[in-house]
């Protein structure tokens, strides 16, 4: 009887032996793949224990490394390195690295954080068709996110925080039906968000802080599961009427300020101690500026505007709506308003505009002069310029209608406690008969050729003003007249044709040794372009921003400055410094 079943038993034994051999062969293949990954990543400390004898599916996990297997195949790989500040060496090939990764076709979770991975992400990563979670934060990825990722129908989490990804925001994310977490914080994405983003119905967390995005937000009303929304430090309009269903605990592009509101006259009087002279910060033809302290202890700046004509409060509805939108990281932002009305006919006698208080002086104060302790480094000056440019971009494109022809001076740029640059004056139609709103002390009498503005090029007068500010940041000299501006612009233009030593010879002595020539040359070139005579020949504010960020990146890559722009005002970009 035993002989009758012998062929079946033999078949079972053969199958079992073959399966063991196949499993061992598969494990060996995966082992070689992981060891190749270790080599391509330049043997990071997290992988220091890997060798030819490692049983990868049975290793202990820790906070830096985890390998998870299911039925002898690797389904999860987590590697967290220590390369937050420097990319892998120049001989690293991201193409070879991804080619190796896709030899682990069963991966569902892939975490590769702070490993110094640099380059444009190849589309072939989408060959990991089972991916559910992909996290490649804190690396040096640049370029665009490959469209091939749209084929990953099981993808639930996509995180690329703290990279240098740029270009426009991917329009195909609605092709990922399972996507619940999307985080691209601290990158260089620009342009507006695609309307298709409002169709990712399972989205629970959307984090896009610290990019260069602007314009009108898509309709998010279909995102019923959305719990976290982080949009701060972009140039979106600050009002989100379609997001009323989102709770107050979520971040809605906040700039660290309370909600805009209407103040009572009693609150204004109490804040200024009934307009005590000790609270008076200054006075000009537009009215008085007071320093005030609200009941909650917060300090504010209060502009008192006296009416020269009779208006009812209804005349100010549209103007107040515009003022309420003036909330951005690089603006002295509006907090609220108050009307003082006549008892006789209820017309407005005075209007009080309440703004955040910025106590750290003007940008001009921080360009050395006699006070060496109060002197911005080259990297910080680029950062301040980026901040001003982003503020201008917000005024032009982040609110409707845009605010143009702001007649900006370096004295109109205030610095907060963290040396973040904030534009403190801008043109408002409300005060067109009285001038513009100012929240700082500006005494400059500079007028320039762009004052004869046409509506067609109304944005380019601010570009010229930014060019003059760049001129002062580079030279360390105060520009008082249009003749000064022209003369120093010509000096900069001439130095661009000189050698490196010639360019450095015109730079502020306080930063002369600290700036990389390519960074300096880029700043000089964009400064000169901003100040050309014909408005239509001046660059767009987006073009200016790109060049300033490039100047910041190459400066960081050189690391010749005493302070990285990662901590400097207004600068979020990171450069490549190969080690």
User: Would you kindly state where each structural domain of the chain is located, as residue ranges?
Assistant: 10-243, 261-356, 364-440+448-567
Tokens of 568: 């400097």
Q: Mind listing the pLDDT tens digit for each residue in 485-525?
A: 999 999 999 999 999 999 999 999 999 988 999 899 999 99
For 229-269, the DSSP string reads: EE--SSEE-S--GGGTTS-TTS--S--S-PPPEEPPHHHHH
CATH class assigned to 364-440+448-567: mainly alpha
- 3-state per-residue secondary structure call for 501-526: HHHHCCCCCCCCCCCCHHHHHHHHHH
**Cα–Cα distance measured from residue 257 to residue 327, given in angstroms and rounded to the nearest whole number:** 8
Answer whether 265's CB lies under 8 Å from 288's CB.
no
**Cα–Cα distance measured from residue 437 to residue 429, given in angstroms and rounded to the nearest whole number:** 10
Which residues, in sequence order, are CB contacts of 87 under 8 Å at separation 6+? Answer: 116, 117, 118, 139, 140, 576, 577, 578, 579
Q: Could you tell me which residue, 28 or 432, shows the higher pLDDT?
A: 28
Q: Mind listing the pLDDT tens digit for each residue in 321-372?
A: 788 888 888 999 889 999 998 877 778 889 999 999 998 999 999 986 555 5
Tokens of 173: 């994310």
Query: Of 292, 286, 324, 323, which is closest to residue 306 (Cα–Cα)?
Result: 286
**Cα–Cα distance measured from residue 426 to residue 442, given in angstroms and rounded to the nearest whole number:** 12
Tell whether domain 261-356 is in CATH 3.30.200.20.
yes
Q: Could you tell me which residue, 578 or 203, shows the higher pLDDT?
A: 203
Q: Which residue has the tokens 């080690």?
A: 579
Burial annotation 215-254 (CB, 10 A radius, 16+ → b, else e): eebbebeebeebeebbbbbbbbbbbeeebeebeeeeebbb
For 82-145, the DSSP string reads: EESS-PPPTT--HHHHHHHHTT-TT-SEEEEEEE--EEEPPGGGGG-TT-SEEE--SSEEEE--
Query: Of 202, 194, 29, 65, which is closest to residue 132 (Cα–Cα)?
Result: 202
Average pLDDT, the chain: 82
Per DSSP, 397 falls in state: I
Rg (CA), the chain: 29
CA distances from 567 to 15, 144, 188, 330, 399 (A): 62, 25, 16, 16, 28
Q: Mind listing the pLDDT tens digit for each residue in 203-240?
A: 988 989 888 888 888 888 888 888 778 888 887 754 44
Answer whether 319's CB lies under 8 Å from 428's CB.
yes
CB atoms within 10 A of CB 275: 15
Burial annotation 464-481 (CB, 10 A radius, 16+ → b, else e): bbbbbbbbbbbbbeebee
What is the topology classification, in CATH, of domain 10-243? Answer: 3.80.10
Q: Which residue has the tokens 């049983």?
A: 55
CB atoms within 10 A of CB 569: 26
**Cα–Cα distance measured from residue 182 to residue 108, given in angstroms and rounded to the nearest whole number:** 17
CA distances from 571 to 380, 381, 421, 506 (A): 8, 10, 10, 24
Answer whether 548's CB lies under 8 Å from 215's CB.
no
Q: Mind listing the pLDDT tens digit for each residue in 441-481?
A: 433 334 444 444 444 577 799 999 999 999 999 999 999 89
pTM for the full model?
0.56
Per DSSP, 331 falls in state: B
Q: Mind listing the pLDDT tens digit for each residue in 33-86?
A: 999 999 999 999 989 889 988 888 888 778 788 888 887 789 899 999 988 778
CA 531 to chain centre: 26
Run of H or E residues at 191: strand 190-191
At 219 the pLDDT is 86
| Phi, psi dihedral angles at 107 (to 5 degrees) | -60, 130
């Amino acid at each position: 009887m035993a002989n009758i079943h012998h062929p079946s038993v033999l078949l079972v034994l053969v199958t079992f032996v073959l399966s063991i051999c196949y499993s061992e062969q598969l494990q060996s293949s995966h082992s070689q793949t992981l060891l190749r990954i270790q080599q391509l990543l330049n043997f990071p400390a997290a992988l220091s224990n890997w060798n030819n004898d490692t049983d990868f599916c049975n290793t202990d996990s820790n906070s830096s490394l985890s390998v998870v297997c299911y039925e002898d195949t690797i389904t999860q790989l987590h590697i967290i390195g220590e390369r937050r500040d420097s990319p892998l060496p120049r001989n690293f090939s991201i193409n070879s690295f991804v080619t190796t990764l896709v030899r682990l076709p069963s991966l569902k979770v892939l975490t590769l954080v702070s490993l110094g991975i640099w380059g444009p992400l190849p589309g072939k990563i989408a060959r990991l068709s089972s991916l559910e979670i992909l996290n490649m934060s804190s690396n040096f990825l640049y370029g665009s996110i490959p469209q091939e990722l749209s084929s990953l129908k099981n993808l639930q989490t996509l995180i690329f925080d703290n990279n240098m990804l740029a270009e426009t925001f991917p329009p195909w994310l609605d092709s990922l039906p399972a996507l619940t977490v999307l985080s691209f914080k601290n990158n260089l994405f620009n342009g507006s968000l695609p309307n298709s983003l409002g169709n990712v119905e399972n989205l629970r967390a959307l984090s896009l802080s610290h990019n260069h995005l602007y314009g009108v937000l898509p309709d998010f009303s279909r995102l019923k599961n959305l719990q976290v929304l982080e949009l701060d430090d972009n140039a979106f309009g600050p009002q989100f009427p379609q997001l009323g269903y989102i709770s107050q605990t979520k971040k809605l592009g906040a700039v660290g300020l309370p909600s805009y509101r209407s103040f009572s006259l009693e609150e204004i009087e109490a804040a200024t101690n009934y307009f005590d002279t000790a609270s008076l910060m200054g006075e000009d033809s537009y009215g008085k500026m007071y320093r005030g302290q609200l009941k909650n202890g917060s300090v504010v700046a209060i502009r008192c505007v006296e009416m020269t004509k009779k208006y009812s409060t209804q005349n100010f509805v549209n103007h107040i709506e515009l003022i309420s939108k003036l909330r951005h990281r690089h603006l002295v932002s509006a907090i609220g308003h108050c009307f003082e009305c006549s008892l006789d006919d209820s017309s407005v006698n005075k209007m009080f505009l309440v703004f955040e208080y910025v106590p750290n002086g003007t940008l001009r104060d921080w360009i050395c002069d006699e006070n060496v302790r109060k002197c911005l480094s080259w990297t910080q000056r680029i950062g301040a310029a980026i901040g001003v440019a982003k503020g201008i971009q917000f005024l032009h494109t982040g609110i409707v209608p845009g605010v143009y022809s702001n007649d900006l001076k370096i004295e109109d740029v205030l610095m907060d406690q963290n040396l973040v640059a904030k534009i403190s004056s801008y043109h408002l139609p409300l005060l067109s008969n009285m001038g513009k709103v100012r929240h700082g002390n500006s005494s400059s009498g500079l007028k320039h050729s762009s004052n004869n503005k046409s509506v067609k090029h109304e944005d380019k007068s601010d570009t010229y003003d930014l060019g003059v500010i760049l001129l002062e940041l580079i030279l360390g000299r105060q520009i008082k007249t249009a003749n000064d501006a022209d003369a120093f612009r010509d000096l900069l233009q001439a130095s661009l044709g000189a050698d490196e030593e010639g360019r450095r010879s015109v730079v502020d002595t306080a930063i002369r040794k600290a700036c990389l020539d390519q960074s300096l040359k880029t700043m000089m070139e964009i400064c000169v372009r901003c100040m050309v005579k014909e408005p239509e020949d001046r660059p767009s504010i987006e073009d200016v921003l790109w060049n300033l960020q490039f100047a910041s990146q190459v400066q960081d890559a050189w690391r010749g400055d005493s302070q990285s722009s990662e901590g400097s005002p207004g600068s979020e970009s990171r450069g490549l410094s190969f080690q």
